[in-house]
Amino acid sequence: MNKRAILFSLFLISVCVPFYFSYALSVDNSITSEDELAIKSLELASVCENISGSYDKEVLCLLAIQSSVQSIGEVRCAVASDIVEPSDFLRRNYGCCFDRARFIEKASGYFGFETRRVFLIQPYEGVSVFNYLPLRQMSHATSEILTSRGWLGVDSNEPFILLSERGTPTIYKNAINNIDAFRQMTPRNFYTEKLDVIYGLYSRHGNFHGKNFPGPEYVLSELLWNWH
C-alpha cells in the first residue's frame, strides 16, 4: 500500500469511527410524546409536582416513581432485539433492570430531576478492560438521581434507595465500599462480590435503544462522571 492510500485510509478511520460512535451508539435521553403518555399513566402528579427545594418531598416522589415502575408486569429480561423505552416496556408488560432503570430515569427527568445511569458489573476474570464487552458477566443497570442534597442511588429491580441512617443520599460506589451500613441492598451475593461502577453505559450490545448498531450504547455527558 502506497503512502497516499495509507493516508486516505487513516483519514477515513479518523472520520468514520467518531461518526459511528456519535451517531450509531449514543443514547437520546430526551422525553418524547410517547414517554410523556407512559409517565402520566403512573399517575404521580400529586406526589411529584411542586416539590422543588423540599428534600423530603423529593425522596417521597422518587420512592413513588420506583414503586410504580417496579409494579409493572413480571421481572423477566427483554432480549437484545427488544426496545426498553417506557412505552415499549408497558406494551411488553415484562422487563428487568434495563427497562425499569430507563423508566425511572425518564419519569424522574419529567419531574425535573437530573439523572445518570449506573452500570454495575463483575469484571470478567477480574480484568476491567472487558467491562464494555458482552461476555456474560454478572451485571446490573440502575440509577442515581440528583436531589437537593446530592446524588441518590435508586434501585431498578429492588425496593431500596441508598439513604444513610441519617437520611443522607448516597451513591452506589460509596454504598458498595461501606456495604455493612447498607443492609437493604439486595441480592446480597451480588453486592458483596467485586464490582466495577460505570456511569453512562446503557447496554453493551447496541440494540436496546432503537438504532441496532453493534457496540456499547452510552450517554457521553454521563460517561464523563467516571473521571470525576
Which whole number is the average pLDDT over 91-97?
94
Q: Which pLDDT tens digit goes with each residue over 37-86?
A: 999 999 999 999 999 889 999 999 999 999 999 999 999 988 878 889 99
Query: Cis (ω within 30 of 0) for the bond into 187?
Result: yes
| 117 close to 190: Cβ distance less than 8 angstroms | no
CB 117, CB 174: distance < 8 Å:
no
pLDDT of residue 190: 92
Instruction: Please state, for a pLDDT cut of 90, what percent of the chain lies above it.
Output: 64
Cα-Cα end-to-end distance for the chain: 43
Q: Which three cell numbers stand for residue 139?
A: 451485571
Q: What is the pLDDT of residue 208?
A: 81
What nine digits make up the cell of 95?
Answer: 422487563
63 class by beta-carbon count within 10 Å (0-12 exposed, 13-18 middle, 19+ buried): middle
Q: Which residues contact 167 (CB under 8 A, 6 or more apart)?
A: 59
Give the integer Cα–Cα distance in Å for 83 and 92: 10
Tell me: pLDDT of 189 over 70: yes
Q: Is the pLDDT of residue 4 over 60?
A: no
Alpha-carbon span 79 to 95, nearest angstrom: 9
115 contacts 194 by C-beta, under 8 angstroms: no
Which letter does DSSP use for residue 186 in this model? S
On the question of pLDDT at 11 being above 70, the answer is: no
Averaged confidence pLDDT in the chain: 86
| Distance separating alpha carbons of residues 4 and 13, to the nearest angstrom | 14
| Residue 5 reports pLDDT greater than 50 | no
pTM above 0.85, yes or no: yes
pLDDT level of residue 217 (50, 70, 90 thresholds): confident
Cα 91–chain centre separation: 20
Domains and CATH numbers, the chain: 27-227 (3.10.620)
Mean pLDDT of 82-100: 94
pLDDT reading at 132 higher than 80: no
Residue 178, number of CB atoms within 10 A of its CB: 11
